[in-house]
Structure 1
Amino acid sequence: MTTPTVGVFALQGDVREHLRVLESLGVHAVGVRRSSELDACDALVLPGGESTTMAKLARTFDLFEPIRRRIATGMPVLGTCAGMILLGDRIADGAPGQETFGGLDATVRRNAFGRQVDSFEGDLRFAGMADPVHAVFIRAPWVEDPGPSVEVLARVAEGPAAGRIVAVRQGSVLATSFHPEWGGDDRVHRLLVDQIRDSTQE
């Protein structure tokens, strides 16, 4: 099997850390700033950042529609924090006119946990993983009203946000409220890589 190429949306956001984790998993990891780079990718990571800015830059650089099409036709994608917002079919508390790529049949609430000062860390029980995932939340969203085809992978266990959905999967779309690229745990990224391998065997 050829080495898969995984792109990281690189016009804005938390790019380098994702590239580092992906490279450690033995895939070819590249920053994506134009459609020709996207064309060479087997999968894409939409990183944390500022979701409205990311969408506007994708429009400016003629990446918005190519990304939307690739997601709609089944390209494996991982969205983290702002990336989760960009995958939501519906946005709560979004900026006026905010656009998303879609692909996730759910409402994603922007800045659901509050402002930067309300950022926090915690351990999550994550479906299919024996040990908890240590999660870093920074101005994070959460998922509401997931559709019937959306699998809930993790919820906040305690505190004021207990029970809130913070990781989901729908087909080839994987999304987390938190930043799995921080802290040395590569298991969420492994799910994306496994998805690429599964899709090439179908």
Structure 2
Amino acid sequence: MSAPDLQQGVEGYAALVRRYHRTLDLVSDAGLRELPRHIADGQRYARLIERVAGPSATVVDVGSGVGLPGVVIALALPRAQVFLVERRRRRTAFLELAAAQLGLANVTVVGDDVRAVEGVCADVVTAQAVADLATIVELTRHLHADPCYVLSRRAEGGPGSLAAVWRAGGLVGDGQTGAEGLPAGAEVLEEPLEPRGSLVAVRLPGGSACQSSA
């Protein structure tokens, strides 16, 4: 998507959040004030996804809420297939409305717990303010392609050890390690976010031999 088209899409999305945030109880007033920053973070997610998995990746966004970062990813990467997984009905209704209003043919809204999702082969899993990275890996392991990148925001001063992530991904106990002591085939990328914290991407090998539904 060209920069002007992306900007127009982002502005349209922000307008929808502002219009419906009270009616559908989407975000607090404080959260609404932080919307520009969250959208900017979503664009960082999209750039990192394109870097590690390409512009046509299948992305599962866990606990999409009002669509952050999932809707922004779908806007920025129109060739990607983006599954927005959200259990709460009001937010699911908003996500469906936003996808229709913004013309996001690459979005599928899933109104269910991510553990119940089937038939999707995720090149990338994203989550923001849902759970710690290891829990996200554990909840979505049945959807992982080989490889799968799991992206999440990590708070400043957050736990640095990734041992729990490797356990959740089934990568502990195989006796195989690669460079820098990581499990064979694993990789960790981390980029700073404003004003604090970082975006972490973990590459997990050995996912399910699944077929993409995209």
**Range into which the TM-score falls when normalised by the shorter chain:** 0.3 to 0.5
TM-score (norm 2): 0.32
Q: Computing the radius of gyration over CA atoms, which structure comes out larger, 1 or 2?
A: 2
TM-score (norm 1): 0.34
Higher share in helix: 2
